[in-house]
Amino acid sequence: MPGGFLQPSAAEQAALRGKQEERERQKKQARAAERKAKKARVAELEQGMCERKREREATAASAPVATRSPEDEERDDAIAEYLDKKPYWGRSAFANLELVKELCGPEGERSYDRERKLWGTRVLAHLRRLLNSHRWEPVGIPEEWWPALLAAADAKAEAEMRHAEAVAQERRERLLEEQAHRDRAAARRARQEAERVERAAEAEREAARAAERELLREKSERARTTEPPTDDEIAACHALGFEEATIEASHVWPELGPTSGLSTEARLLRWMDICVHGVDVEHEFTPTSRDQAAMDGLRAACRHETVQRLNERARGW
């Protein structure tokens, strides 16, 4: 049946199914790889947490239990309270103002209490050089406690550094995860765009195949309803200026009249005779009809206009 020309062949249908199955396999593989990577990352984080927990427990278990005297407790409590608040205030003589200001750090790191006339620093590392200068004394901490103060300050600075590193590491990991998420989303969009382009290309190819099948159907249909052209008919069409595309397309133009018993070229020539006859009929009862030269010019113009119009129609203009 003619409608069969519009359907893909069995081989084409199998090829389309194969492409669809391949795309589905690729999607499944991508999702499996993503799940595997996420599972590995979770396992890595859990392993790191377990190792850090074991290290803390081992350190706590190996630490000797020491007893502190009341004097040590008083010292440690005073130092802990001192280091708990920033800035770290201290007393100094007015004569040492510039030196103390420099040792406390630049603007943003040093502070001054106008009511108590105290200079202080917000940076733990500056405490050592302030104490070593012997020009500045921390408020509430006698000189014999300074070694313990420096030790506590160093321990606190190290703890703060570890905390900052942990925060930075967490931020880096979060940024990497966000970037990985964006990369996966971009890859997904790229796959979707590639699939869309492939679908559009396949649709165009299928349309081209359908058009080719339709053309074959038309040629087959025409071969059953028309006669082959003679050499004279072919020569006459070319002499008038008809293009090959016009000759092919004219087969389905109903206004050219019946096709039975005629070739496509003969049908075009018959239509041309009808158009030229219309010129004769139009001027039959006018003085022009008696002017042979004028009538020949009108007939020639009719032929030219008809050929041009049909050629443009075949081109799709």
CA distances from residue 138 to 70, 71, 72, 93, 287 in whole angstroms, order as listed = 22, 19, 18, 13, 130
Show Cβ contacts of residue 175 under 8 Å, excluding neighbours closer than 6 positions. none
Let me know if residue 26 belongs to a domain.
no
Let me know if residue 277 belongs to a domain.
yes
| pLDDT for residue 307 is more than 80 | yes
Tokens of 244: 């090959």
CA distance 198 to 118: 76
Each residue of 39-60: pLDDT tens digit? 776 667 667 667 776 776 777 6
Let me know if residue 274 belongs to a domain.
yes
Each residue of 184-205: pLDDT tens digit? 999 999 999 999 999 999 999 9
* pLDDT reported for residue 8: 64
CA distance 140 to 294: 128
User: b/e for 142-166, b at 16 or more Cβ within 10 A?
Assistant: eeebbeebbebbeeebeeeeeeeee
CA distance 76 to 156: 13
| pLDDT for residue 316 is more than 60 | yes
CA distance 95 to 23: 82
Domain boundary among 165, 183, 205: 165
Query: Helices marked H in the chain — which ranges?
Result: 10-62, 70-83, 97-104, 125-133, 146-225, 231-240, 244-249, 264-282, 292-315
* pLDDT reported for residue 90: 94
Let me know if residue 302 belongs to a domain.
yes
The one-letter code for the residue type at 171 is R
Across the chain, mean pLDDT equals 85
Each residue of 138-170: pLDDT tens digit? 999 999 999 999 999 988 888 888 888 888 888
Q: Regarding predicted confidence, which is higher, 219 or 140?
A: 140
Which strand (E) or helix (H) includes residue 119? strand 118-121
Mean pLDDT over residues 217-243, rounded? 81
Which range marks the domain in which residue 251 is found?
Answer: 231-315
Q: Is 69 left (phi over 0), alpha (psi -120 to 50) or beta?
A: beta
Let me know if residue 255 belongs to a domain.
yes
Residues 75 and 156 grouped into a single domain? yes
The residues facing 37 across adjacent strands are: none
CA distance 45 to 39: 10
Let me know if residue 283 belongs to a domain.
yes
Let me know if residue 195 belongs to a domain.
no
Domain boundary among 117, 132, 165: 165
Count CA atoms within 13 Å of residue 241 on its CB side: 14
| pLDDT for residue 2 is more than 50 | no
Q: What is the dihedral of CA 214, 238, 271, 294, to 10 degrees?
A: 150
CB 125 within 8 A of CB 58: no
CB 110 within 8 A of CB 122: yes
* pLDDT reported for residue 3: 45
Domain boundary among 119, 148, 165: 165
pLDDT band at 235 (very low <50, low <70, confident <90, very high): very high
Let me know if residue 201 belongs to a domain.
no
Domain count for the chain, please give it: 2
The residues facing 118 across adjacent strands are: 113
Q: Which of 269, 270, 271, 259 is nearest to 221 (CA)?
A: 259
Furthest-apart CA atoms within the chain: distance in Å = 144
Which strand (E) or helix (H) includes residue 2? none
